[in-house]
Each structure stands twice: as structure tokens, then as C-alpha cells.
Amino acid sequence: MLQKLRKEERRSLIMSELRASPLVRISALAEKFGVTTETIRRDLDALSKQGLVAREYGGASARPMGVQPPARERGRELTEERSRIGAAAAALVMPGEVLMIDTGSTTGHLARHLAAIGEDLTVVTNSYPVASDVSSGDARVVMCPGEFDPREGGVYGVDSAEYLRQFHANKAFIGASGISSDGLSDVNRNAVSIKRAMIERAGETYALVDHSKFGARLLESVGPLSALAGLITDQEPPAELRLALERAGVQIIVAEPQV
């Protein structure tokens, strides 16, 4: 029986249980982890608010592979962790660089940190929130054309992807709905083509992914781990994922809490 697990570790293991079984019971999880049923209930409620699980009577089931909450709802969760990730990503940026940044709650934090730093940058993006935030600093913003998706706050489509291919960038910063040993994946098929175009046109690509995405395999593959120069996250990845990242030559950057 597992005992003395941190909250984050326990919730990560609950997600592992759901990847092995379509439904988990509160009573079984409480016994397995040596905690009260009320503790497990709080864990499942928190994971449900993050859009990672669907609450069921007496337990929870895995979130469908093709569904995720709108960006506005996702942005309310893990704000401190995502801000740390954004700050760590901003620290990699050099003055004068050209960046590609896609839509997402974590990339939005990166944009705000870049604006605060005030570097002379060029940012190519399909995200209206990213464009608005980063332009409050000294960055020049190039906005993609395309069809606006109000759920995500960005533009998508063939026009957007083809427009990106006109540019070169020093670095691309992208998000993803999931990261596993198979690579990056996402539930938004329109977003996948944007991420692929950014990977293609950037010298280095960094994935900004919080721990709740570890081990998740969702609707469409964005690309293999080897497409990344680095993963910027808020917790150490579990052993299987860490080994896969190391074998792919991906730098793992963990944005630790400030003391």
C-alpha cells in the first residue's frame, strides 16, 4: 500500500489508474493509497475542475480523448504553476530573437513575463491574448490570419498554418493537452496544424506543459518527443516519461517554486 504521498504525486497516480481502467472507485483508491475517502473525493474534484476526469457516482472516469474545456476555464487552474513555467520559458529568450508562440493558458503566462522583461523581440502568434499581452512590452507582434475560435482566443485553419511557413524563428513555445512517451498530443485538431508549423519553422521548440498533462495520450499527435529541444514544466516527470525524454535528447526544465 502506498503511503505518505504528496498531493501532486497521488493525483498523478490516480491519472495512471484511469489510463489502465476506464473507471475508478473512491473506496478502492482510498484503500490503495492509504488515505481517507474524503481525501480521494477532493482529489477527484480537483482533477475534474482541471478537465482531466469526469466525476461519476462513487468515483470518476477518464476524460474523453477529444474533449477539453475552453481556454478561459483552463486558465483558472494551476495558475501559480503555469506562471512559474512561463517565467522559466521567458528566461531562455535573448534580446532581438524571433519567437513563435501558440494559443494556450500557459503560453499566455509566458507572454506576460516577456512583456514585463521588455526585451526587443519579434513574436509571431495565432493567439489574440498572447499578442495583446506581449505587445504591452517592447515586442513587435506579427499576427496570423485565419478563422477565429472564441473558445481558444486564437485563429486557426489552412491560412494560419501557411502564413507561419513564411517566417523563421529562433524559438517556438507551444502548449499541448498531453505529453507521454509517444510524444505531444492535443484534443484540438485545428491547433495541431499550428503547432506542427511552428515546430517546422523554429530553430528550437520548447513545450510548456504542466504536470497534469503527464502521461496523457489524446486525440491527435502533434509530434514525437525528438521534435523538442526542451520541456518546461512545474514538476519532475514520472520515470517512464523522464526516460523517454532523456532518450530523445530533450532538456527537462523544472520551474521550482520560489522560496
53: domain CATH number is: 1.10.10.10
Dihedral angle, C-alpha 209, 213, 216, 219, nearest 10 °? -70
- Residue 132 phi/psi, 5-degree rounding, is -65, -45
Whole-model pTM: value is 0.76
- Domain of residue 53: give its range: 7-62
Report the pLDDT averaged over residues 216-222: 87
pLDDT of residue 69: 55
Residue 192 and residue 156 share a domain: yes
For the cut 90, the answer to whether the pLDDT of residue 16 exceeds it is no
Kindly state whether residue 1 falls inside one of the protein's structural domains: no
Kindly state whether residue 259 falls inside one of the protein's structural domains: no
Report the pLDDT averaged over residues 164-173: 97
Residue 206 and residue 92 share a domain: yes
Band of residue 1 on the pLDDT scale cut at 50, 70, 90 = very low
pLDDT of residue 19: 67
Band of residue 89 on the pLDDT scale cut at 50, 70, 90 = very high
Q: Cell numbers at residue 146, please?
A: 485565419
Kindly state whether residue 2 falls inside one of the protein's structural domains: no
Residue 87 and residue 12 share a domain: no
Residue type at 9 in one-letter notation: E
Residue 224 and residue 174 share a domain: yes
Band of residue 75 on the pLDDT scale cut at 50, 70, 90 = low
Residue 174 and residue 204 share a domain: yes
pLDDT, mean over the chain: 89
Residue 81 and residue 11 share a domain: no
The DSSP symbol for 211 reads G
Query: 115: burial class by Cβ within 10 Å (0-12, 13-18, 19+)?
Result: buried
* CATH code of 85's domain: 3.40.50.1360
Residue 55 and residue 80 share a domain: no
pLDDT of residue 6: 80
At 43-74, the pLDDT tens digits run 998 887 766 777 888 888 766 554 555 555 55
Q: How do the residues of the chain divide into helix, strand and coil, expressed in percent and rounded to 5?
A: 40, 25, 35
Gap between the Cα atoms of 250 and 228, Å rounded: 6
The total domain count for the chain is 2
Kindly state whether residue 212 falls inside one of the protein's structural domains: yes
For the cut 50, the answer to whether the pLDDT of residue 149 exceeds it is yes
Residue 49 and residue 90 share a domain: no
pLDDT cut 90: percent of the chain above it: 62
pLDDT of residue 76: 56
